[in-house]
Amino acid sequence: MPKDHSEVLQGTLDLMVLKTLDALGPLHGYGIARRIEQVSDDMLRLNEGTVYAALLRLAQKGWIRSEWGASENKRKARFYSITRAGHKQLAHEAESWERISSVIGRLLRLESQH
Amino acid sequence: MLRTLISRLMNTFRRQRLDEECDEELRGHLEMLAERFVARGMDPVEARYAARRQFGGVTQMKEALRDRRALPPLDVLGQDARHAIRGLWHAQGFTAAAAVTLALGIGASTAVFAVLDTVVLRPLPFAEPDRLMSFRNIDRRGPHLTNISYPNFFDYRAQNRVFERLVCYRDAHFTLTDSLPAVRVPGEIVSWDLFSLLGVQPELGRSFLPEEEKAGTHVVVLSYGLWQSRFGGDRGIVGRQVHINGNSSTVVGVAPRGFQFPEDAPPMQLWTTIAEDGSMAEQRGARVTEAIGRLRRGVTPERAQAQMDQIGLALVAVDPDSNRNIAKTLVMSEQERLAGKTRRPLWIMLGAVMLVLLIACANVANLLLVRSTGRAREFSVRSALGASRWALVRQLLAESLMLGLLASAGGVLFSALSLKRVLPLAGEDIPIPRIAGVSLDLRVLAFCMAVAVVTVVLFSLAPAVQVMFTDVADALKDGAGTIARGRHRLRSSLVVGQIALGLVLLVGAELLITSLLYLVRRDPGFRPDHLLTFGIGLSDARYNTAGQIAFSDRLRERLRAIPGVKIAAAGFPLPLEGFQMGIGFDIEERPEPSGRPVSNMAIVTPGFFSAMGIPILKGRDFTERDDTGATRVLVVNEAFASRFFPGENAIGKRIEPGAMNIGEAKTMMHEIVGIVGNAKQEPLAAKADPIYYLPYKQLSWDIGTIELRTAVPPQEIVPAARAVLTGLDKEAPMFQVRTGEERAAEAIAVPRFLTILMSGFAGIALVLTVVGLYGVLSYTVARRQREIGVRIALGAGRGTVLGLVMKDAMRMVVVGLVLGVAGAVGVQRLLESISFGIRPGDPIFVIIACCLMVAASLAAAYIPALRAASVDPMQTLRNE
């Protein structure tokens, strides 16, 4: 089911964007894309446009806010920053991510013993 | 979830700016990306392409963002609406049928509501109308409401502490002779503070002053209409003298445009003070005036009435003879008094028209069901292509909504038209207060919209439910088959419901028609044909009693000389004019000082009975010799004779009417010299009440109304009569020129109005029901063509097939009638309260209505049945 697959990806991307903003402070879409690229070490190839879809979703949920400002090279850009609700959500998501990934990790290890 | 929705909702309103911002943001991103590639040594053009590649589809992303940012449903709704309009346009026949049916229903209910709203619901157009209370005495002998005498009114006004103001008012007529031709206009005689009571500021000048109640003052406030029509809207009118009833009156003010008081009278042209009534203001026995008061803040009507009752009790001691029977009072909301008798019938009419609307809804629902059956395949295909069920339902709803919109526009038109065309059918002078003010205002339009919305929900429910619960795959497999069965049951039950509601309306219409026929056919006690009546405005100031009698003699003589006139007479009040003078009397042989009997009274000239066509049963008519010099005589009607002299010969008996102590005459014994037939005084009363007639020359209060019995059609006499009157006194206007037949029609205007409405509703209901039944049967026949073909092929005769369809029809009809009878019986009980001459619970109405419904249904079923019988088996089998 391709639909479910994309949903997982969406959720993951949202979490990554949120974490990026948490770690680096206010950042524009381009900066977020660069950061994800850098962290993932090119293991994750994504259409950078999808970052904006993630940003819109997060903004609509009230987890980030945005304002216009000037970028490093004096270009007008929209800067996103994490809100208080966003912090809470991030903590929650991070925890459940850890839990799921540890469960899945354990599960996969079990499988390989057979 | 909610946050997202709110954010989307907000963004919907600044879509343009958000789009631009988004464009800018993405452009920036692309540029930075390209610069990065250039910095790595890429060619600028190459770099731009690379940036776009890495970003992904820019346009797709923009669109995706736009859709998610704002409310997509708005866009989609627009799309649905476009689809719906296209769909309706393609099915023009369906659209027209459905829209017209609904427009009829919505329009009719809007029109009825407009009448109800104006007459019953809308608050009076005065300041704080809920504190305005009508005030009357109750005569304990009736018990009925009675007017108040001036001295009593003054005492009530001075002694009460519950009303801020208490104002008396009395309808009268005034002759204006400031310029020729003289006119006779309705006006009101009021106590000084009427305008302050109502919170109305005069357009010009002022209202009355307290001292202007004193006899001898002549002041007048003109209506806006009279000021415009007769005085050319002259702003210098205030302070001028005008000739009214032979007196010179000072105009002190002009009422604002549209001001009307009382609201249940013909449009008043002027208001003057009680000074006009002269010596009548001193007579406790002359109950002439009505009263209205404004409650003090915080005083309830009950408390007010308690105090007025106390004052009334004290007034008995002041003048026991006049006040003994009227110690009780009634304080009721003026609004309620006005709506009074019409409230119940109008609510009933609104209920009836709502039933029509329901029937119309059922028809449209049926049409929609047929349509959605025809579209089952379309829906299945769309569903299979990925349209969600909700999307399909939404499209159906959009179509219904568009249909509702179309229908309510038509409904508004229809109601405007019917208010303009149907309302006048009820007659010019229909005695329903405020009905002239009926119009389509915002309140009425709001009601129309509400009705339309409810209607849309009602008629679109069925098809929507159908789609929700239809298995798409099934529908695809087999065009009609399985879905059609459930759908058919739904359609049949809609028709059954229509038949039940239609029966209820039919019974209602039958009942009112029977009641009206009873009123039309029953003997009014006089002959309305070949009868012309009119009033004359004779100036009190220029004619004393002797002069008036002389004038009356001369006038009747000259009128009699007109070719075509057989008899000329005068009298008042005329039959069907209601009870105007209820006067107590003593019977000589059995005086009852504690409770004198009361009867209505009229004053008439010789020839009155033959002019009106009231038969003289015993004794004689009055003659010109029955004057103040002769023995006092009177004539009574049959009801009077049998009520007060049961089993005796009333001729020769003597009674002493109490009326004689009004004015200069003293009370005197009167001998009964004649007994006449019962002419109805109260037009809608079940039977004639007692009345006694006094000869004009022995009690000359007023010249009265002229009656001419003619040999030619009465209208032809009018010019000659007018010439005779002008020849005698050019300042005496002729007014209320009516034939006897017009008077008879006017008297039953309200029942006729209600009957027209109810019959119209029942007619529409019957047509809609028959159409609905026909539609369902035709559809069934079309669907069962295969089956019928097989039956015929197997040897079923024409009769069998006919019977098959007829049986189908009769099953629906019978179930509908059984369900409808309960409602019909209820409606009959309800309507008996507003109809006349109906035996309570008479089953004939339900029986006739059932027969009508069966006959109409058989007719409706016959065509589809014939079609079924003529199915060609070869044709159908070949199609297999």
pLDDT surpasses 70 at B660: no
- Residue B475: pLDDT band with limits 50, 70, 90: low
More confident residue, A93 or B688: A93
Bridge partners, B189 (sequence order): B170, B272
User: How many angstroms separate the CA of residue A81 from the nearest CA in chain B?
Assistant: 16
DSSP assignment of B511-558: HHHHHHHHHHHS--SS--TTEEEEEE---TTT--HHHHHHHHHHHHHH
- Residue B793: pLDDT band with limits 50, 70, 90: confident
ipTM higher than threshold 0.90: no
Bridge partners, B167 (sequence order): B292
- The backbone torsions φ and ψ at residue B209, rounded to the nearest 5 degrees and listed phi first, read -105, 155
Q: What contacts B822, CB < 8 A, 6 or more positions away?
A: none
Report chain A residues whose CB lies below 8 A from the CB of B12.
none
Taking only the tens place, the pLDDT of each residue in A44-68 is 667 788 888 888 888 888 899 888 8
pLDDT surpasses 80 at B415: yes
A45 lies within 8 A of chain B by CB: no
Instruction: Extract the tokens encoding B613.
Output: 């066509």
Mark yes or no for CB contact A47/B57 under 8 Å.
yes
Q: Is B521 exposed, middle or buried (0-12, 13-18, 19+ CB in 10 A)?
A: exposed
> Helix (H, G, I), strand (E, B), or coil: what is residue B667?
coil
- Residue B206: pLDDT band with limits 50, 70, 90: very high
- Residue B530: pLDDT band with limits 50, 70, 90: very high
A97 lies within 8 A of chain B by CB: no
User: How many angstroms separate the CA of residue A103 from the nearest CA in chain B?
Assistant: 29
Taking only the tens place, the pLDDT of each residue in B255-295 is 998 888 888 777 889 999 998 887 777 878 777 889 999 99
Q: How far is Cα B636 from Cα B562, in angstroms, rounded to an integer?
A: 31
Q: How far is Cα B150 from Cα B613, in angstroms, rounded to an integer?
A: 37
Q: How far is Cα B56 from Cα B64, in angstroms, rounded to an integer?
A: 12
Taking only the tens place, the pLDDT of each residue in B545-597 is 888 889 999 999 999 999 999 999 999 889 888 766 777 788 888 877 666 77
Give mean pLDDT, residues B300-322: 88
For B756, half-sphere exposure in the C-beta direction (CA atoms, 13 angstrom radius) is 16
Of the candidates A28, A52, A60, which has its C-beta nearest B4's C-beta? A60
- Residue B386: pLDDT band with limits 50, 70, 90: low
A56 lies within 8 A of chain B by CB: yes
The mean of the pLDDT values for chain B is 84
Bridge-based pairing of strands B219-222 and B247-254 is: parallel
Mark yes or no for CB contact A52/B57 under 8 Å.
no
For B867, half-sphere exposure in the C-beta direction (CA atoms, 13 angstrom radius) is 15
Taking only the tens place, the pLDDT of each residue in B63-89 is 778 777 766 555 566 777 777 788 777
Domain segments of chain A as ranges: 2-113
Taking only the tens place, the pLDDT of each residue in A86-108 is 999 899 988 888 888 888 888 88
User: How many angstroms separate the CA of residue A107 from the nearest CA in chain B?
Assistant: 33
Of the candidates A49, A62, A73, which has its C-beta nearest B58's C-beta? A49
Q: How far is Cα B842 from Cα B831, in angstroms, rounded to an integer?
A: 12
Instruction: Extract the tokens encoding B875.
Output: 């044709």
Report chain B residues whose CB lies below 8 A from the CB of A57.
68
Torsion sign (Cα): B600, B604, B610, B613: negative
Instruction: Extract the tokens encoding B580.
Output: 């105007």
A2-113 to CATH, choices 3.20.20.105, 1.10.10.1200, 3.40.50.720, 1.10.10.10 = 1.10.10.10
Residues of B contacting chain A (CB within 8 angstroms): 3-4, 7-8, 21-22, 24-26, 28-29, 31-33, 35, 54-58, 60-61, 64-65, 68-69
